[in-house]
Amino acid sequence: MIVTGAGRGIGREFVRTLARAGCRLSLVARSADELADAAREVRALGAEAVATRADVALPADCEAVAARTLEACGRIDALVNNAGIGMRIVSETFNTVPVKFWDVPPQAYAEIMSVNACGPFYMARAVAPAMLAQGFGRVINVSTSPVTMVRPGYVPYGPSKAALEALSRAMAAQLEGTGVTVNVILPGGATDTALLPGSGPDRRGADGQLLAADVMNPLLAWLVSDASSGVTGRRFVGKLWDASLPPDEAALRAMQPRPDLPAIL
């Protein structure tokens, strides 16, 4: 199973959950130090890991990740597109002082879109042939809330996730019936990760109190399992998972309605 952005934050929580489940992991991150630390933790938890320093914004890097994973693991059962860049490269005060879109540097706009919207495409494109050949695969894309997608001052982070969800739906439709599914997960609010500036108990997201970075872990575990077979083209909200319910019921509660004709405006 490939996890991008595996070195810290939500990705690191995903890695811990999958390692505890005994999954063989292919870890991807841009930071060599964070990547090595994540691999050590996986092995300490008794799971196997191959670590590849790569930038998902580069198609060649994504192809290399897929090839190395196949060489080390023999197959690719899941791709978790978690790597992402937030608004901090635009402004360190974006969550308190909204950034006018005309003040966003073109280079920052391009970098965020390249990682958040293009990266999942490059990675899915790289792994799809192997998944199709084996008749099984899970592509799980980490998104954000619709409110954030169109929130003033969140350009280009919000629009990058809207693009990711459109891509996810199109990919799911083309993969229907192949055994390869594509779904979207999101926390349901801002999470306590480095995507937000600041520190301490007064740190807040745009919607208030921060969610724990592990809020989507139960959803991820369910989606990579056989229990999610046939579920594709759907979005799931982490904070709606009810741990008191059996996993299949909890997943159904966390799954959002899917309109026949999606719209932003």
Q: Which residues are catalytic?
A: 157
Rounded CA separation 44/47 (Å): 7
Single-letter code of the amino acid located at 156: P
Q: Residue written as tokens 């003040």?
A: 103
DSSP secondary structure string for all residues of 11-37: HHHHHHHHHHTT--EEEEES-HHHHHH
Rounded CA separation 174/167 (Å): 11
Please state at what angle helix 9-20 crosses helix 32-44, rounded to 10 degrees: 20
Helix (H) or strand (E) holding 90: none
- How far separated are the first and last CA of the chain, in Å rounded? 36
R_g (Cα) of the chain, nearest Å: 17
